[in-house]
């Protein structure tokens, strides 16, 4: 049975906005994840926080569970392409991981001309040094996926797009690590494309983060979730493209478009409040994305995520 809007509304009062577990180690709070470090072990807790345009805006019911469980699904699916940092998943929103030395850039792979890259293209900007030909249509497919790296900016500031030459000139990663991570990113994207196609979806673009454990390259953070990726419905893609209509999205782009179109917000100034009905609608899209991508049902239980989380961390002897 699909998750009802009533269930999602009931969960609004129980979302996980923050965590406080000093016993897990030193805490770093990102836009969505609270990461605790103790020696070479990380405990990554995916909260229900929702961010867009580099601002944390609100929380969504069950978002942390959906994202972390989906990331775990993808880490298992792609372990043959490149190793990852996962050790255990003791709670739906928790990943215990090996600590890696992270690279200072994000690896964004794009299969289609859309989103910020389309906005750059329309404005005749070329921050990635791609030299795309003129006359391309919005949402059109590239002959082969392309890599558009960016910096990893602090919360509240914007990531900076970079060309490959700039990455190497600034020595953000070594030439060897750049080539290894580039190859891994394109390989992971190919796996994601194959799985998505089998489920009637188009894998549009995604963000990867990599690091090293010793000399071993590993993929870290999250993978192929609606927060870090775009997914479209494959059915009707060509017709919508030919008519210049928007694609059917199963990702966070729904929120970005709502902010732009309904509130005139694209990252500058004070973010608007997100109404409860919009929060529930967005949560429903995350559920749909999870179930469509994995082919499995999502069966949540209304209640305190914080209480369940503490119970499971204790059961795993992490607290």
pLDDT in tens, 3-54: 999 999 999 999 999 999 999 999 999 999 999 999 999 999 999 999 988 8
Residue 250: inside a domain: no
- CA gap 158, 54 in Å, rounded: 6
Residue 298 included in any domain = yes
The maximal CA–CA distance of the chain, rounded, in angstroms, is 58
Q: Same structural domain for residues 41 and 96?
A: yes
Distance separating alpha carbons of residues 197 and 159, to the nearest angstrom = 30
**Is 0.75 surpassed by the pTM of this model?**
yes
Q: Per residue in 131-160, pLDDT tens?
A: 999 999 999 999 999 999 999 866 655 678
Beta-carbon count within 10 A of 265 CB: 19
Cα(76)–Cα(195) distance, rounded to whole angstroms? 13
Verify that 120 and 225 share a domain, yes or no.
yes
Instruction: Give me the mean pLDDT over the 75-96 stretch.
Output: 97
Same domain, 226 and 303: no
In sequence order, the β-bridge partners of residue 217 are 212
Whether residues 60 and 174 fall in one domain: no
pLDDT per residue as tens digits for the range 209-250: 999 999 999 999 999 999 999 999 999 999 999 999 999 998
Domain end: 214, 243, 272, which one? 243
243, 270, 305 - which closes a domain = 243
Of 21, 6, 32, nearest in space to 309 by CA: 21
- Confidence label for 120 from pLDDT (cuts 50, 70 and 90): very high
Domain CATH number, residue 221:
3.30.470.20
Question: Which of 256 and 36 is assigned the larger pLDDT?
Answer: 36
Q: What is the C-alpha separation between 265 and 196, in angstroms, rounded?
A: 31
Averaged pLDDT for residues 282-297: 94
Residues 187, 189, 194: CA angle, nearest 5 degrees: 100
Domain count, the chain: 2
Tokens of 269: 């100034």
Which of 243, 274, 294 represents a domain boundary (last residue)?
243
CA 123 from chain centre, in angstroms, equals 26
Q: Is residue 269 part of a domain?
A: no
Together in a domain, 87 and 111: no
Among 227-236, 258-267, 306-315, the range scoring the smallest mean pLDDT is 258-267
Reported as a single tens digit per residue, the pLDDT across 63-73 is 999 999 999 99
pLDDT of amino acid 155: 60
Domain that holds residue 24: 5-100+283-315
Determine, yes or no, domain membership for 174: yes
Q: Is the pLDDT of residue 276 over 60?
A: yes
Query: CA 77, CA 47: separation in Å to the nearest integer?
Result: 23
Task: Please tell me the distance from the alpha carbon of residue 52 to that of residue 55, in angstroms, as a whole number.
Answer: 5
Same domain for 135 and 239 = yes
């Amino acid at each position: 049975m699909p998750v009802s809007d009533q269930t999602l509304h009931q969960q609004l009062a129980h979302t996980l906005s923050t965590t406080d577990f000093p016993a897990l180690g030193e805490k770093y709070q990102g836009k969505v994840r609270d990461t605790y470090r103790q020696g070479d072990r990380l405990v990554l807790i995916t909260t229900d926080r929702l961010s867009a345009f580099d601002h944390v805006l609100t929380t969504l019911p069950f978002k942390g569970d959906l994202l972390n469980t989906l990331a775990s699904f993808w880490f298992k699916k792609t372990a043959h392409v490149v190793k990852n940092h996962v050790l255990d998943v003791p709670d739906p929103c928790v990943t215990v991981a090996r600590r890696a030395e992270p690279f200072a850039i994000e690896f964004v792979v794009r299969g289609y001309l859309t989103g910020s890259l389309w906005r750059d293209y329309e404005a005749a900007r070329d921050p990635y040094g791609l030299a795309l030909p003129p006359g391309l249509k919005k949402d059109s497919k590239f002959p082969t996926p392309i890599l558009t790296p960016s910096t990893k900016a602090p919360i509240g500031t914007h990531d900076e797009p970079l060309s490959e030459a700039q990455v190497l000139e600034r020595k953000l990663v070594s030439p060897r690590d750049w080539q290894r991570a580039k190859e891994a990113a394109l390989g992971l994207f190919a796996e994601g494309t194959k799985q998505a196609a089998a489920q009637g979806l188009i894998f549009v673009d995604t963000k990867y983060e990599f690091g090293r454990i010793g000399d071993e390259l590993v993929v870290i953070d999250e993978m192929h979730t609606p927060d870090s990726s775009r997914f479209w419905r494959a059915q009707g893609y060509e017709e919508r493209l030919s008519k210049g209509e928007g694609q059917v999205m199963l990702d966070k782009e729904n929120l970005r478009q709502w902010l732009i179109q309904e509130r005139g917000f694209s990252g500058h100034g004070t973010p608007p409040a997100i109404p409860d009905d919009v929060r529930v609608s967005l949560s429903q899209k995350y559920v749909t994305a999870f179930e469509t991508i994995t082919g499995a049902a999502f069966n949540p239980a209304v209640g305190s995520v914080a209480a369940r989380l503490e119970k499971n961390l204790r059961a795993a002897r992490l607290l």
